[in-house]
Structure 1
Amino acid sequence: MLTLKKVLARNKVFLILVVSMAFARSAIADWYEVPSGSMYPTLMIGDRIFSNRVAYDVKLPFTDIILKHIADPQRGDVVTFSSPKDGVRLVKRLIAVPGDVVEMRGERLFINNVAADYVLATGDVASQLVPDTAGRQLVLNENLLGQKHPIIVLPEYPAARSFGPIKVPAGEYMMLGDNRDNSEDSRYIGFVRRELLTGQVERVLFSLDSAKYYLPRLSRFGAAIL
């Protein structure tokens, strides 16, 4: 009869590997599948993304306790974090840092009284539309305070297109989805405390298109995040 000690001895290498992987995902780097369209056109459903967990802070593994600051999150970063509403892991665009005054007027974003500029996007990103979404989709490049990235707006979709002005509190950040009219972000879940940030998304590892029998989107393999 096998004892627990014998089982552990026979599977020592496997158990060490499992523990090491869990530790690495908790403390160093993690990877996720993008399950929703809230970050189109930047991230697509089926993307597998890499999140650098030590981009901003070193944390005690398996906790939100910060041991050491590495760098401050910046406007325009794409980040993963635990929702302050229910703890669910989310990925969004970091729009505003502590002390910023943020406002949105009919879809136009303002930070510290500076208005964003918008132009129609061109190239491949302009064709990365949200699947199974009725009505018009406009892919725009949003340019604000030196940060430029693509967003999608859905003119016929009910959304929170105006708010503020509101000041971001110390130690907290404001998040918005790049799919600006269909994203559960800081407009609904509030600001995100620094300790809830779990990493910066730096690139897409690989991508599978579920609408096409999970065929790989080869052009997205290793793609950097804008």
Structure 2
Amino acid sequence: MHTDPVIASRQRRVLGWLRREALPLLVLVLLLTAARSSLANHYHVPSGSMQPALQPGDRVVVDMRAYGWRLPFTTHDLVTVADPAPGDVVVFDSPADGTRLIKRVAAVGGQQVEVRGGRLLVEGQRPPEHASAAEHVGSRRITLDLAHGGGADFGPVRVPEGEVLVLGDHRGASFDGRYFGLVPVDAFYGRAVAVYHRRGDGFGWRRL
């Protein structure tokens, strides 16, 4: 059976277009998707659990290379760069139900930690005698939101190597490590770097 010359010509034109245009476009999309998975991404903050540092609706730049060079589309690091440090704001999936979360690293492997009245106590620190909204986490001085109290108490426990405790800055309104437990360091997708868009304020660059 002979193929109609008109149909054959049309098929050749379509195949030629696919080779010249569609295939390179598909490769570009795959490369951009892989880069987003391995290099940088963004996160939309859904709740107020990290107030005042993060507000609901904030859009945040996430450095996917902060803790390692990751195999695209996985959480497997090809090369480990650094471990999460106290004070880092990290993105990960909740061990409880898989929901994507953003929290602050409160304590890392080897540290003894507890939370009392919403205040973080590391290596046997005493609770502050005055009610202050400021707290030091690692080398960072952060501002807490205790408007809804301190939430659940936790510990004292010594964090095993390879795991961390994560907390929300809005201690009385955060579902965090006090409820779902410690998180393995290899569970983090990356470190949140800055807020690049805030509802009502528009675009900007607010480092975390």
Q: Fold match, TM over 0.5? A: yes
Q: For the residues of structure 2 that align with 1:43 and 1:116, how far apart are their CA atoms?
A: 25
Number of positions where the alignment pairs a residue of Structure 1 with one of Structure 2: 196
Q: Is structure 2 residue 39 aligned with structure 1 residue 28?
A: yes
Shift of 1:36: 0.9
1:86-136, Cα deviation, whole Å (9 max, x unpaired):
22221100000001111122222211112465765xxxxxxxxxxxxxxxx
Superposition map of 1:32-181 within 5 A: 32-115=43-126, 117=128, 120=132, 140-144=133-137, 146-155=139-148, 159-160=151-152, 162-181=153-172
Residue 35 of structure 1: how far off its partner (Å):
1.0
Q: Quote the Cα distance in structure 1 between the aligned partners of 2:204 and 2:71.
A: 31
Matching residue of 2:3:
none
Any unmatched runs of 5+ in structure 1? 121-139, 209-215
Q: Which amino acid aligns with 1:196?
A: A
Q: Distance in 2 between matches of 1:11 and 1:78?
A: 39
1:217 aligns with 2:201: yes
Does residue 189 of structure 2 align to residue 198 of structure 1?
A: yes
Relative to structure 1, is the Cα distance of residues 8 and 141 closer, same or farther in structure 2, using a 3 angstrom cutoff?
Answer: farther
Q: Could you tell me which amino acid in structure 2 is paired with residue 34 of structure 1?
A: V
In structure 1, distance between residues paired with 2:138 and 2:62? 25
Unaligned runs of 5+ in 2: 1-9
Q: Tell me the distance in 1 between the aligned counterparts of 2:42 and 2:109.
A: 27
State the one-letter code of the partner of 1:221. Answer: G
Q: Does the aligned pair in 1 maintain the 2:113–2:155 contact within 8 Å?
A: yes
The 1:110–1:11 alpha-carbon spacing in structure 2 relative to 1, beyond 3 Å, is same
SS in 1 for 2:171: coil
CA distance in 2, matches of 1:60, 1:50: 19
Of the structure 1 ranges 199-208 and 10-19, higher mean CA displacement relative to structure 2 is found in: 10-19
- Other-structure match for 1:18: 29
Task: Determine if contact 1:114/1:144 at 8 Å carries over to the other structure.
Answer: no
Larger Rg: 2
Q: Which aligned runs of 4 or more in structure 1 are off by greater than 6 angstroms?
A: 1-4
CA RMSD, 1 decimal: 2.4
Conservation of the 8 A alpha-carbon contact between 1:115 and 1:144: no
TM-score by length of 2: 0.84
TM-score, length basis structure 1: 0.78
Residues in 2 aligned to 1:63 and 1:190: alpha-carbon distance in whole angstroms: 23
SS at match of 1:11: helix
- Check conservation: 1:101, 1:112, Cα contact below 8 A: yes
Q: 1:217 to 1:197 in 2, by over 3 A?
A: same
Distance, in Å, in 2 between the alignment partners of 1:5 and 1:199 is 41
Opposite residue 199 of structure 1, the aligned amino acid is G
